[in-house]
Structure 1
Amino acid sequence: MAELADQETMIRVMMDIEAIKKLKHKFYRCLDNKLWDDITECLTENVTASFYGGKFKFEGVDALMRFLKEGLIPARISVHHGHHPEIEITGDTTATGIWSVQTYVIDRQANISLSGMSLFHDEYVKEEGEWKIKSTACGRIYEEVWDRGEIKSLKLTQAKEFESPDGQCRG
């Protein structure tokens, strides 16, 4: 009987880890597509965030969302790829995670591009059966910025809408 309980626990832990991966992927997808209302679904109301070694700190979902919206103005195209998650379930409703995140940003207003790599340290909490980001802290490994005007052959083509495999347009 103990073996069955152990298997059920292992399955629950694996399902929780997968749910946290989906949460983080949703966060980045919504961030890059500027789906601000959908991002808030990923966060606790009292979320805390610290970026670039504490240079930028925020408490609460409203403060964090204000920062994200101001940073990702319409003239900026971003891509965030979260890789190699190290997720640990620390309790029935708590977990931690470390993510390697590759970032690429095109700023059409300033005519620059940025490429960078960061490590994110997150805390998660399960609220009403759903995992949410309770805190996130980002430390930059590297950041490279260049002037897009200096590259003579550079051409940017951006789709107005992304069409998914199911034929539905995603803005």
Structure 2
Amino acid sequence: MTRTVKDFIRTIPDFPHEGIMFRDVTTLFADPQGFRMAVDQLVAPFAGQRIDKVVGLEARGFILGGAVAHQLSTGFVPVRKAGKLPGRVIGQDYTLEYGEARVELHDDAIQPGERVLVVDDLLATGGTAEAGIKLIERLGGEIAGCAFVIDLPELGGRDRLEKLGMSLVTLCAFEGT
């Protein structure tokens, strides 16, 4: 039987809150076959395109984004939680499935006209990704696409990002929250 990326992801019930089914990608990252499969599948739709930067969303997007940037031979830029980046930053507030937050990006991380691929492990409501997209666009970057390992369709993130005109790649989906 051929394994898929989804086969390497474990589900942890009631984390971080009761009723949440947490999709844990650390088991995917820990397995060399699974990790390579995920990175290869995230890269494939963008191979041969001009990608100037890969932006990884905190925190698991750093792991995936760094590997994707390496494979695409381009630079990597982190979008971090507020207060984590030194130097001058721009910030964007957003809501997520459990509350509110803010992400930041160095104000010189993206140059006008650069084509940027946004990468993260999970697409839920789309709030974090939308905030990252807004930061990139404020600096003049053009979104080449968004790539996620997991989609949680019931939470509406795909619809939210597609309404913004984003092109999305997801490797698997899980029902529920």
TM class, shorter-length: under 0.3
**Going by fraction, where is strand more abundant, 1 or 2?**
1
Structure 2 length normalisation: TM-score?
0.24
**Going by fraction, where is helix more abundant, 1 or 2?**
2
Larger Rg: 1
Structure 1 length normalisation: TM-score?
0.24
